Amino acid sequence: MFLKKSVLLATLAVVGFINFSFAQSLPILDQNPTGLKWYQINTPKFRVVYPKGFESEAQRMANTLQTIYGPVSRSLEKEPRPISIVLQNQTAISNGFVTLTPRRSEFFTTPPQDYNLLGTNDWLNLLAVHEFRHVVQFDKALTGFTKGVYYIFGGNGLSLIANLSVPGWFWEGDAVGAETALTSSGRGRMPNFSLELRTYLLEKGAFSYSKAYLGSYKDYVTPGFSRYKLGYYITTYMKREYGPNAWSRVLNRTYNFPLLPFVFSNAIKKETGKRVEDLYEVTMNNIGSKWREQLEGMPITEAETLPTAQNRVFTSYEYPQFLSDGRILAQKYGMADVETFVVLNPDGSRKEEKVYVPGIVNSGGMLSVSKDVLIWSERTFDPRWGMKDYTILKLYDLKTKQVRQITRKSRLNVPSLSPDGQKILALQVSVNNEYNFVILDSRTGQELQKLSNPGNHFYIMPRWSPDGQQIVAVKLAKEGKTIELIDIATGKGREIIPYSHMNIAHPVMNGDYVYFNSPYNGIDNIHAVHIQTGKEYKVTSRKYGAYNPAISPDGSTLAFNDYTVDGFRIATMPNNPGTWTPLEQVEDRNVNYHAPLVEQEGNHNILDSIPTNEYQINRFSKGKHLFNPYSWSPIISSDARGLTLSLASQDILSTLQAEAGLGYNANEQTANFFANVSYQGLYPVLDATFESGPRNVSLTIDEEEQKDTWKESNLMLGARLPFNFTHDKYIQTLNVSAHTSLTLVDGYDLPRRRFSDISNGSMQAMLYGLSYRRLHKRSIRDIAPRWGQTLALNFRHTPFGGDFQGQLFSAVGNAYFPGLGKHHSFHIRAQYQQEDQSNYRFSSSILFPRGHEYTSHSQFYGGSAEYRLPLFNPDYALGRWFYFRRINGGLFYDVGKGETSQGSKLYQSIGADLTTEFCFMRLPVPLEMGMRTIYFPDTNQWNFQFLVIEVGF
C-alpha cells in the first residue's frame, strides 16, 4: 500500500515497521548437524574444508585441484583468485555448485549411479574439473566495467551482471566442454548426452533459438537440455572454428559494456560476424549433418514397441522388468506425468495399468522385480538438517498392492531382488565414500552379509545371477570400466571384459551371456559378452539408442528402452544369439565432435598424474569464520521508493547470516539504520533484527493536512524451527516460529490526533507462527499441485503491558484438487481472523477478497474458490524482446464477512484472470503478468487490474 495522506497509515505506522522486520527474517539455509567437526587443508590456490573422517579424500582433492588449476584456466586466459571448496558428505545427493554469495564451491561427495553423468571418471575428479571451470568463468568477469561493479556492489553485483549478460547455456556448456576435453571421459564424449537434441534435430529439425534456450511446455526442452546440451554444442562449435581462446575474447567484450542490450550477441558478432541466433543455426546445421552421416547405411534391427496410454506430449517409459504373467513393469515420466510405476501388456489386450506413484526416486537408472515384487530406492530427509538426507529401500507387492519401507536412515542405492525374492542386494555408500555390497533380508531389512571391497572400487547397477550365487556389476576403476562377476560366498571377483573408457552400464546376466549398454559405435545399444570366452556381440542396432536390457523368464525375449522423438518406449525382440553381430564386424560410426577440443588442450588427460603430497591439516573453527562479508550493495526496492546500502555476510558453512546498513525511504524522505542476524547452527534458528530512525508522514485530520514526525526504534528476537517431513509423493514441511518485539516511539508531537493514532511510548509484542504444507509432486505442465493442503496460523499480542495494546489471531487453510483437465487446478481457501480493536492493530495475515481494500474487523470469515488452467503454449518469440511460453486462465469467487461492534459487512468478488508466462530480452527468468477482471455483486460494478503474478527472482 502506498504511503498517502491517511489516518490509517499513521495509526499503523508502528505496525508496519514491526511486520516489515518480521517479514525480513533472513532465509533458512541448508546446514549440517551441529556436532559435525570440520577441518581444512590449504594449498596455494585452494582451501579445502571437509568434515572429520574425510581426510584421505580431502588430501586427494587438494592435490587434484592444485594440479588442474592451470589447464582448466588456460583457454579463458584467467587465473582465478584462491577459493574455498567445501566437501559435503552428509547428503546422498550427487551434485556440485559455485556461488559468489558468498564465494565458494561445494562438492556433494556421494557418486551418482547415473552413468551418463559419471562416465568413466572418478566423481570428485569430475566435480573438480567442471566446478572449477565455473570458478574461472566467474573470475573472468572481473574485467572492464564489470570489475568496477564488483568493487561497488561486491559478490551480489558481480553475480547479477555475470548471469544477466552471459546466457546460462554458456556457463554449463563451456564447463561440459572442459570436462570433455581435459579428462578421459566427460559428457561430450557420451552419445546419451546428445540423445534428445540429436533426435529432435533429425526428426523435427532445429527449434528456434529462443525456444531451444528458454524452454517450452509443448516440447521437452528442459533446463538440462537448454543449458548443458545446447550449450556444449554451441561453445564447442565456436572453439572448433575460431580457436580455444575465442570465448575469452567474447567475454572480454561482454564485460567491458555488460549493461548494453544483447551485449553477448554483439560480442559474438564482432568475433565471428554472426549474431548468437546465427551461431546457433550454423552449429545445428554442422552437428546435424554429422549425425545424419552417422546414420547413413546403418542397419536397424527390428523390434516391437509395446502399446501405451495415449500421450499427447513427451512421455518416457524406462527400466523394463518382466512379471510372472509376461507383462512388463516400467517407470513412466514426462512433461505431463510425475514418476509412476505402470504395467504394459505386450499383446495390447489390456490398457496401461497405473501401479504406484513413488516418492522422490533416487536416480539409480534401474528397477528390480522378482516374484511380482518391485524394489526401488527413494530419498528421505533429516527433519531439521537440510544437508543430511538418506536413501532408503521400498518394496511394492503387485499382487497384494501393499508397499513397505524396509530400511530407515540408510545410504543404500540400486537395490536388486534375488531370484527367489528372499534377499536384497544393494550398494552402500558411507559418508566417507566407502563402497560395499550388502545383502539384506527382504522381509525384515536386516543385514545378512557385507561383501569386502579392499580396493574401494565404485560399482554401478548390480544384479543377481539367475542362480542367486553371483553378482554382476559394472566396476569403475582408474583404468576405466569393466564388467565383474563376484562370487557371493567367497567375495572374489572376475573381470569378463577388458578395462576401457567405454561408458558401459546396466549389466544383466542370462544363460551364458551378460547383456549391457555400450556406446561402442557412437550410438548406445545393447551388447552381450559370452562369459566364458569374453567374445562380445552387438545385440541391437536401433536408430537413436537402446538401453536397460531385461530378459523374459523363459529367456526367449529381450526388452529394452528404445528412444524416440516422443520419449523412451519399451520395445521387445527375440533373444536370438544367432542374429547378433560380432564386435569386430561393428562399424565405427563415432562422430567425435569433441576431438578438436582434445587436440587444442594437448591430447592430455590432466587427471592421469595427480601427485600425492601430504598437506598440513588444521582444524576449521566455525566460530572464527562466522563473519564473512561478501556483498556491500546499494539496492533499490522493487517499487523504486526505497534504497538500502548494506553489508551482507554469510559463512561458507551457512551457519550465520548477517546484514547491516542504512536504509532510505524516498516516500518519507528519511534514513534509518538496520541490522539482521540469523544463527542457524543450532536446532532452533535464532534471529535478531534491529532498526532505528526517524519517521515522517503527512496525513489529513478534519480536512486539515498535518505533518507527523517521530523517531522509532525496534528490536526483535526470536527462534524458528523448520522441519522437512517428506517421505513419499507429498512434499511435507512444517515451520514453527516465536518472536518478541520491543518498539519505542519518541518525539511524536502532533498537536491533534484521533483516538487510534500512535503517540510516544513503547510496545512489547509477541509473534507466533505455524505453517504446514503437504503438496503432491508436480509434473512440468502442472499449473498447481493436483492434490495438497496448507495451513498457516499466526498469533500476535502484547502480553507485557506497555503503552500500546493489541491482539490478532489468523488461520488460513488451502486445499488443492484436480480440475477437469489433466493440468487444471481447483483451489479452495478458508480463513478466519480475530482482532482486538484497541489502540494498536497488527497488520493482517489473511487475503482480503480480491478487488476490495483491507478493512479492519473484530472478526472476519472468508473463503474463495479458484479454478486455474493452461490455455495454450505458443512458443512464440516477438523478435529478441519477448518469448511467450504459456497462456494461463483462471476464474475465482471470493467472499468474506467482517463483524465489528457496529454490525457486519459482506464482501464479494467474482473474477477472471488471463496471464502469460514469458521471458524478456531472452533472460531465462520467467515472468507472469496479465489482466484481471472483477465483478462486485453488491454494487453491480466492474473493475480491471494489471496483474503481476510472478517476477521470477
DSSP per residue, 311-330: -SS-EEEEEEEE-TTS-EEE
Q: Say which residue the cell 546422498 belongs to.
A: 92
Nine-digit cell string for 477: 576403476
> How many whole angstroms separate alpha carbon 537 and alpha carbon 552?
19
28 CB contacts (<8 Å, ≥6 apart)?
678, 680, 685, 720, 722
Find out whether 809 and 795 touch, Cβ atoms under 8 Å: yes
C-alpha cell at 252: 572480454
What CATH class has 38-294+595-619?
Answer: mainly alpha
C-alpha distances in Å from residue 143, one per residue of 246, 249, 334, 398: 16, 12, 43, 61
**467 vs 663: CA distance, rounded Å:** 73
Could you identify the residue written with the cell 527449434? 207
The one-letter amino acid code at 498 reads P
Q: Judge contact between 874 and 891, C-beta under 8 A.
A: no
Per-residue cell: 450: 557385507
Note the pTM of the prediction, 2 decimals. 0.94
How many CB atoms neighbour CB 7 within 10 A? 15
Residue 23 exposed, middle or buried by CB count within 10 Å (0-12, 13-18, 19+): exposed
Q: What is the dihedral of CA 741, 742, 748, 754, to 10 degrees?
A: 50
Q: Which three cell numbers stand for residue 324?
A: 510372472
Amino acid at 295: L
Domain spans of the chain? Answer: 38-294+595-619
**Which residues face 820 on adjacent strands?**
none
Residue with cell 561453445: 235
Radius of gyration of the chain from Cα atoms? 31
Q: What is the DSSP string of 354-394?
A: EEE--SSB---S--EEETTEEEEEEEEE-SS-TT-EEEEEE
DSSP letter for 654, please: S
CA 385 – CA 373 distance, rounded (Å): 33
- With residues binned 3-state (H G I as helix, E B as strand, rest as coil), the percentages for the chain, rounded to 5, are 20, 40, 40
- Are β-strands 567-574 and 557-564 bridged in parallel, bridged antiparallel, or unpaired? antiparallel
Number of Cβ atoms within 10 Å of the Cβ of 284 = 22
Alpha carbon distance 111, 129 (integer Å): 15
CA angle 680, 681, 684 (to 5 degrees): 60
Residues 6+ apart with CB under 8 A from 279: 234, 237, 238, 268, 272
**Cα distances (Å, whole numbers) of residue 713 to 20, 76, 212, 672:** 13, 51, 52, 9
Calpha distance 644→20 (Å, rounded): 14
Task: Say what the alpha-carbon torsion angle 560, 564, 568, 571 is, to the nearest 10 degrees.
Answer: -30
Distance CA 144, CA 78 (A): 14
Measured distance CA(429)–CA(446) in Å, rounded: 17
> What pLDDT score does 299 carry?
95
What the block records as the C-alpha cell of 675 is 541490522
As a whole number of angstroms, the distance between CA 567 and CA 806 comes to 59
At CA 792, angle to CA 786 and CA 798, rounded to 5? 170
CA 662/CA 644 separation, integer angstroms: 6
Q: Is 111 exposed, middle or buried (0-12, 13-18, 19+ CB in 10 A)?
A: buried
Instruction: Report the pLDDT value the prediction gives residue 702, as an integer from 0 to 100.
Output: 57
- Amino acid identity, position 593: Y
Check if the beta carbon of residue 486 is closer than 8 Å to that of residue 471.
yes
- Grid cell at residue 631: 556483498
Q: Where are the beta strands (DSSP E) in 511-665?
A: 513-518, 525-530, 536-538, 546-551, 557-564, 567-574, 581-582, 617-619, 629-636, 642-650, 656-665
Low-confidence ranges of the chain (pLDDT < 50): 1-23, 638-639, 754-756, 952-953
* Nearest to 368, CA basis, from 391, 395, 347: 395
Cα distance between residue 323 and residue 553, in whole Å: 8
Name residue 333's amino acid: Y
In the numeric block, the cell 545378512 is attached to: 448
For 343, the enclosing helix (H) or strand (E) is: strand 337-344
What's the full length of the chain, in residues?
Answer: 953
The C-alpha cell that represents 375 in the structure block: 524394489
As a whole number of angstroms, the distance between CA 12 and CA 837 comes to: 12
The stretches of 274-352 forming alpha helices (DSSP H) are: 276-295
Residue 400's contacts (CB-CB under 8 Å, 6 or more residues apart) are none
Strands 536-538 vs 581-582: parallel, antiparallel or unpaired: antiparallel
Cα 853-857-859 angle, rounded to 5 deg: 125
Letter for the amino acid at 554?
D
Give the distance from CA 184 to its chain's centroid.
28
Output phi, psi for 320, to 5 deg. -65, 140
| Residue 470: its H or E element | strand 470-477
Nearest partner of 18 among 679, 745, 860, judged by Cα? 745
Mapping DSSP to helix (H, G, I), strand (E, B) and coil, where does residue 202 land?
A: helix
Nearest to 546 by CA among 536, 557, 560, 558: 560
Contact between 28 and 736 under an 8 Å Cβ cutoff? The reply is no
Which residue, chain included where needed, has cell 530400511? 407
Contacts of 237 (CB under 8 A, 6+ apart): 279, 282, 283, 286, 287
